[in-house]
Amino acid sequence: MFSTRVRLTAAFAGGLLLITVPIVVALWAARNTNVYRDIGQYTTAQADLASRIVSQLHEGAQVIVGPTTATVVSPTRIRDLLAGFPDYLIVLDRFRQPIYQSPAVSQLSPQDSIRFRDQVLNLPGDADNSRAALIDLFGADTTNRVRGTPVDRLLLVARDVKATDNGRIRVVAGTPTLAATALPSEYLFVISVILPIIIGVATWGAYAILGREARQVARVTDEVSAITDGRSLHTRLHWEDTSPEFTKLVSTMNAMIARLESSFLGLRRFTADASHELKTPLMVLRADVERAMNERTSPTEKLVALEEALQEITRMSDLVESLLTLARADEGRFDIYREPVELKPLVQEVFETALILGEAAQVSVTLPFTDEITVLGDRPRLRQLFLNLVTNAIKYTPAGGRVDIGLGKHPDNVTFAVRDTGIGIAAADFPHIFDRFWRADRVRSRTSERGGFGLGLAISQWIAQAHGGTLTASSRLGRGSLFTVTLPLAAEELPPGQGA
């Protein structure tokens, strides 16, 4: 299998030939056309001159030869003038018998002579209806006739001269064409030597240029091959050429490697965080089981140990369920069941749950009056989304703080907002709030009684996006945070003219 470099070079050479050959053929055809035109004009002039001489001869008048001379030739010298014609010339009387033929005609082979005479008799002789004819001469060698390779080709032009006895004398002039139309030596030199050299040099240049590009591509290929695992994804490809196509290709590959690096880092971080989150409850679960199995443990202590183990199992189940939800969402295998959902009773239900959580945490929760609003979505998932935001707000709001829940209707969407007066989020941490296993206060979250896994916001963002909406946040450290969910209204809720 040939390399791309060889194939492109061959394609370039082939294209160059496809362009060059038609040009050479066209030039050769144009040259032949011009040559035949010149030969035709020359032969016509010969026929016209010979017919004038014959006409003057037949009339017994004097003939003036030459446009600038005053030479007068007597009729007795007309035959000498005809004998001076360099090419083929034949004169036929009114009975179509030859009264003069040039030496070239006399030297024709018998077969060529017959063909020549037949062609002479069939030519039109009117100057106003002049038509040239071509006749092939094969000579005395019959091999040429068998092979169909003529030794020469004549261009014939006829003229009829009116005789005194009302007859017609025919004058036919002929000129050889093969020698004139043969390929000139300089033209042959250009085609056989110069043109191949030009094509060869151009092809070599294309091969050299492609070789430089091929070396660059090979180097980039080696660099890509060197990136064997996630630990070498920090490497970037280098491109020394300014070719926009390859520069764009390398830039795209570098961007892809950067995304892979980010994904690998996220995967390692995710694996480490997941391992850490599973390690703690497993250690607690093991300790509780060992305590319950100890013979010296009282029945009451065994029940307490088993209850703690059950709580840890529940936490682990929640963690696994959250991870499974995100995994299905990443693969696009988690379908959202869409139906009209009334948000007012749903938000009221979330608010009542928030009141219970807020009372235990000594955090006040408020919900202003809300309108009847309908969206198209999955009610359990929307409840999970709203409850995640409210639970987070209460969790990170100190005792005595406040959490405000709001539901607003706009011309083409609805917003659900949760504002708290909690600890807020540092500016350095803000870009990571939707990352998996991220917490605003890791130490507090792990030691808190209601400590989570840091998956709630990631799941909430996915639910919002799956409903065609968004989840945005704003926060100031020590001043609190605001999370806003924006969802599209159902078609019947849109103003006239904005429906689907």
What pLDDT was estimated at residue 330? 67
Local confidence band at 436 (pLDDT 50, 70, 90 cut-offs): low
Least confident of 316-325, 333-342, 400-409, 426-435: 316-325
Per the rule left: phi > 0, alpha: psi between -120 and 50, beta: everything else, 145 is: alpha
Considering only residues 161 and 445, tell me which one the structure prediction assigns the higher pLDDT.
Answer: 161
What number is the average pLDDT over the span 194-217? Answer: 83
Percent of the chain surpassing pLDDT 90: 13
Local confidence band at 75 (pLDDT 50, 70, 90 cut-offs): very low
Bridging pattern class, strands 98-101 and 88-92:
antiparallel
Per the rule left: phi > 0, alpha: psi between -120 and 50, beta: everything else, 437 is: left
Place of tokens 């989150």: 277
pLDDT reading at 363 higher than 80: yes
Local confidence band at 483 (pLDDT 50, 70, 90 cut-offs): very high
Report the distance separating Cα 105 and Cα 99, nearest Å. Answer: 12
What pLDDT was estimated at residue 65? 47
Percent of the chain surpassing pLDDT 70: 81
What pLDDT was estimated at residue 164? 64
Considering only residues 495 and 323, tell me which one the structure prediction assigns the higher pLDDT.
Answer: 323
What pLDDT was estimated at residue 342? 92
pLDDT reading at 77 higher than 60: no
Local confidence band at 325 (pLDDT 50, 70, 90 cut-offs): confident
Token pair recorded at residue 148: 């169909």
Helix (H) or strand (E) holding 385: helix 379-395
pLDDT reading at 302 higher than 60: yes
What pLDDT was estimated at residue 492? 61
DSSP string spanning 415-482? EEEEEE-S----TTTGGGTTSTT--SSHHHHHHSTT---S-HHHHHHHHHHHTT-EEEEEEETTTEEE
Considering only residues 109 and 65, tell me which one the structure prediction assigns the higher pLDDT.
Answer: 109
What number is the average pLDDT over the span 306-326? Answer: 77
pLDDT reading at 64 higher than 50: no
pLDDT reading at 332 higher than 70: no
Domain ranges of the chain: 4-187, 227-331, 335-493
Considering only residues 179 and 14, tell me which one the structure prediction assigns the higher pLDDT.
Answer: 14
Local confidence band at 495 (pLDDT 50, 70, 90 cut-offs): low
Task: Give tens-digit pLDDT for 22-45.
Answer: 888 888 888 888 888 888 888 889
Considering only residues 315 and 219, tell me which one the structure prediction assigns the higher pLDDT.
Answer: 219
Using alpha carbons, select from 422, 423, 342 the residue that is nearest to residue 383: 342
Task: Give tens-digit pLDDT for 131-176.
Answer: 678 888 877 777 777 677 787 888 898 888 876 666 788 889 988 8
Q: How many CB atoms lie within 10 A of CB 23?
A: 10
Considering only residues 129 and 407, tell me which one the structure prediction assigns the higher pLDDT.
Answer: 407
Using alpha carbons, select from 336, 348, 321, 324 the residue that is nearest to residue 465: 336
Backbone angles phi, psi at 73, to 5 degrees: -110, 130
What pLDDT was estimated at residue 365? 94
pLDDT reading at 318 higher than 80: no
Helix (H) or strand (E) holding 41: helix 4-59
Using alpha carbons, select from 244, 241, 201, 195 the residue that is nearest to residue 219: 241
* CATH fold for domain 4-187: Beta-Lactamase (3.30.450)
Rounded to a whole number of angstroms, the distance between the first and last alpha carbons of the chain is: 56
Instruction: Give CATH superfamily name and number for 335-493.
Output: Histidine kinase-like ATPase, C-terminal domain (3.30.565.10)
Place of tokens 């009209």: 340
Mean pLDDT of the chain: 79
pLDDT reading at 446 higher than 60: no
What pLDDT was estimated at residue 329? 66
Amino acid of residue 291: R
Q: Where are the alpha helices (DSSP H) in 163-194?
A: 178-181, 185-189
Bridging pattern class, strands 364-366 and 402-409:
parallel
Task: Give tens-digit pLDDT for 463-482.
Answer: 898 889 999 999 888 889 99
DSSP string spanning 200-244? HHHHHHHHHHHHHHHHHHHHHHHHHHH--SGGGTT---------H
